[in-house]
Amino acid sequence: MDNGLQNCDLRVRLGDMTLRNPVIPASGTFGFGLEMKDVFDLNLLGGISLKGTTREARFGNPTPRIAECREGMINSVGLQNPGIEALVGEKAPALRAVYDGCIIANISGFSIEEYVDCCRRADACEAIDLLEINVSCPNVHGGGMAFGTDPNMAAEVTAAVKGVASKPVYIKLSPNVTDIVAMARACEEAGADGLVLINTLLGMRIDIRRRQPVLANKVGGFSGPAIFPLALRMVYQVAHACSIPVIGCGGVASAEDVIEMMMAGASAVEVGAENLRNPYACRDIIESLPKVMASLGIKDLNDLMI
C-alpha cells in the first residue's frame, strides 16, 4: 500500500515536535487507540488523542447518549472513562508498545486541583508526549466547559497545569463563547504551549412522536461536517491572533478539509465525528493527501497559512 506516501513528505511541525503527518484522531472518537490496532496500521497516524480522562473512573451520562442529525451528530457521553490510573498504568503504555507516534493525553476535571493532579501523573508517564487540557466539554455539570467559557478561569487552569508539566500543554477551547480570540489569548498569556479548537457546539434534538428530548441529558455536543465552516473561522481568527501552534478540529472529513484547516493556520488537524461514521477515515485521509497536495502544487504542508 503505497498511494504515493513513500515519495511524499507529509511531515509537519507542531511546536518543537515533528509529526509524520498532520492527521490526529480526536479525543473521544478513537478510544485509547488500542481498539483500532486491528482495523488499520496505527503507525500511519501523525498522532492519537486518547479518550478524555478524569481522576476517578466515570460511567458517564445516562442513555440515550447519541442523537443523529443532518450533517452530524450530538453526543452526551459525559466523559465515560476508566480514570487517570488506568490511563498512565495501562492504556498509554499498551498503546506505546504498538505505536511510535505522538500520544496525546486528553485531561478533564471538575476542579483546578483535579486538573493539576491528573496532569502531574500524565506528565510522569513515559508513553505520553503531549497534554491536551479539555476545558470545553459541554456534557458534564460543574466542570469542563465551565472553565472554558471564562478567560480568567481558563488562564488559571493553564497556569496551574503548566506549573506541574514538563511536556507540552495544549488547551482545547470551546466554541460556545462570544469571543474565541479572548479565550485563546488568555491561555497563551498563561503559558499554554498550543491550542486545540474547536470542541463541540451545544445542540439538541426532540423526538416529535414522544414529545421528549432524544438525549437523556437533553442537550449535548454537536459535531460533524456541518460545523466545519465555523471551526475554520475560529482557527483562522486564533491562528492570526496568537503565536503558539493551533491544532484545528471540527467537521474535518477529507484531505481537502485538512489542507483548508492548515491554510487557516492549523499546524495539525484532528478528525472527530468522521471516525464514528467511517472507522477508516484517518487512514483514507492520509492516503489521499499526496494526490490532493499534487493537484494544488503543494510540496510542503508547513507554512500554508494564508
Point out the residues that are catalytic.
Answer: 137
Neighbour count for residue 134 (Cβ, 10 Å) = 29
Q: Are 110 and 54 in contact (CB under 8 A)?
A: yes
194 has which bridge partners?
170
Partnered with residue 207 across adjacent β-strands are 212
Angle at 215 between CA 213 and CA 217, to 5 degrees: 100
Helix (H) or strand (E) holding 281: helix 281-296
Give the CA angle between residues 178, 182, 187 to the nearest 5°.
Answer: 125
**Cell numbers standing for residue 100:** 511510535
The three-class DSSP label of residue 47 is strand
